[in-house]
Amino acid sequence: MMPMNSLTDNMATFAQILRQLGVRVSSAEMVDAIRSLGLINMTDRQQFKMALKSTLIKSADDFEAFDDAFRMFFVPPEAKEQGQAAWEERKQENECRNQQAETELQFQGKPLELSEELKNVYSRLSEQDRQRLQEFLEKTSKGNNVKESFQPVAENIIKSALSYWQRQLSPEDLAQLANARRQLTGMDEIDRITEAAAGLGGNGRHSLLYKNMQEITEDEIPQVTVLIKRLAQRLNTHISRRYRTTGKHKTVDLRQSIRRNMRYGGMMLSLKHKTKKIHKPKMVVLCDVSASMAKYVRFTLPLLFGMSKVVKHIESFIFADDLEEATNYFQRGQDFNKATNELLSETVQMGQGTNIAIALNSLRKKYHHLLTPSTMLIIVSDAKTLSPLEAGAQLADIEHKVKKILWLNTQSVERWEENSAIPIFQRYCDMVECYSLVHLLRILKKNFATPA
């Protein structure tokens, strides 16, 4: 265990915990924090907390992580010891669970090669489900002409079954799994508090920002729509490289200035200026509403609606096994519930199988006028599709026609390797994970914050 007998040690450990929780803390901020402690009454817990909070945390989005980490880290030594003991116990319990998975999931006496995560999923199954998997392995092990080389096949079947069960886990179990995936530092104090604080996410002011969009409830949709609209606002203030003449001072427009000052005999008394003009981007958004994307419809439809409200030149489409135009449903001034009810009652795409190739082909053929060098094509989909090679070819063709293709994938990056279509699509587009509003925020910040 780390020796923690000085304020500086404690502060360094605390900063490390914050960094593990995704909060950016620089060395300069650490110096400020330590300096600030010399200016306050350190025995006053609230003052102590505020000194750290105002010098280390520079965004309200990080308050929740800070509050949790502070509450768990700055505790009396007895409470710290208790927490440490409980953490050791849990670690041991996890090891036992993984051991159990290794012992029970064997093929011809050899343990299967499964990831720690899948072993963890296995240990969370009911006795009955575990028994079923064991019976399957036992039977296949003893089958006629079953050789050792058959193990990878059995392994793949078990992996698919466990992946299926993983999708059925409760949000609490999924959160624990996510924690298990988290990179541990090897330092018990840091790992314990990081895990505990990360597991708490979801109670704060901005919890909706971090929520997986497949879990949002009906009554949260208005808030989601408002947040998306607010996030999408920045699309409207995208600054272009091109200049326009303006009364505001920026850069001298020599051509206009010379012309204007001819009347003063060429003496430059009155200058004309130019400034960067605000670029209103053209956007085409394709939103996957197939069966596999059904659980994200509470995210994707508000996304289409929110973007249509704030971006002037936007064309929206929904697709599953073909493309359907949705721009008219989301016109300005239209109420969200009314728009979605109309769309849902009239569309035939909702809940169908996915064929991105057909959808992209329709886009190229019927809406080719929308694909211009100033168009940004945004695709919202989990990339699970039939005919991925054909879809890749369509994408390659569209890539030459538009400015950029941005693919918002609702699957987490960890799952991408399970989908062989993704590497094909990634050749022609920027693919980013996007299953929460905080992802959307980061995407907008990255793609639209700087001048084009």
The residue among 275 and 412 lying less far from another protein, judged by its C-beta, is 275
Is the distance from CB of 399 to CB of 376 less than 8 angstroms?
no
Residues in the site for another protein, rule: CB under 8 A?
24, 26, 28-29, 32, 35-36, 39-40, 46-47, 50-51, 53-55, 57-60, 63, 205, 222-223, 225-226, 229, 233-234, 237, 239, 246, 248-250, 267-269, 271, 275-276, 278, 335, 441, 445, 449-451
Least distance (Å) between residue 14 CB and another protein: 17
Of 78 and 335, nearer to another protein (C-beta) is 335
Q: Based on CB atoms, which residue is closest to another protein, 160 or 223?
A: 223
Tell the residue number behind the tokens 């135009």, with chain if given.
325
For residue 231, the minimal CB distance to another protein (Å) is 10
Please spell the DSSP secondary structure of 6-59, one letter per residue: SHHHHHHHHHHHHHHTT----HHHHHHHHHHHTTS-TT-HHHHHHHHHHHH--S
The CA distances from residue 24 to 62, 180, 245, 270, 395, in Å, are 9, 22, 40, 48, 37
* Residue carrying structure tokens 């840091």: 190
Among 368, 390, 386, residue whose Cα is nearest residue 377 = 368
Nearer to another protein, 189 or 253 (CB): 253
The answer to whether 379 and 286 have CB atoms below 8 angstroms apart is yes
Nearer to another protein, 4 or 444 (CB): 444
In the complex, least distance from residue 288 CB atom to another protein, rounded to whole angstroms: 26
Cβ 74 to another protein shortest distance, Å = 16
Number of CB atoms found within 10 A of residue 49's CB: 15
Min. distance of Cβ 46 from another protein in angstroms? Answer: 6
End-to-end distance of the chain based on CA atoms, in angstroms? 50
Residue closer to another protein, measured from CB, 40 or 96: 40
Give the angle 219-223-227 at the CA atoms, nearest 5°: 155
Q: How far is the CB of 230 from another protein (least distance, A)?
A: 8
* DSSP sequence for 302-318: HHHHHHHHH-SEEEEEE
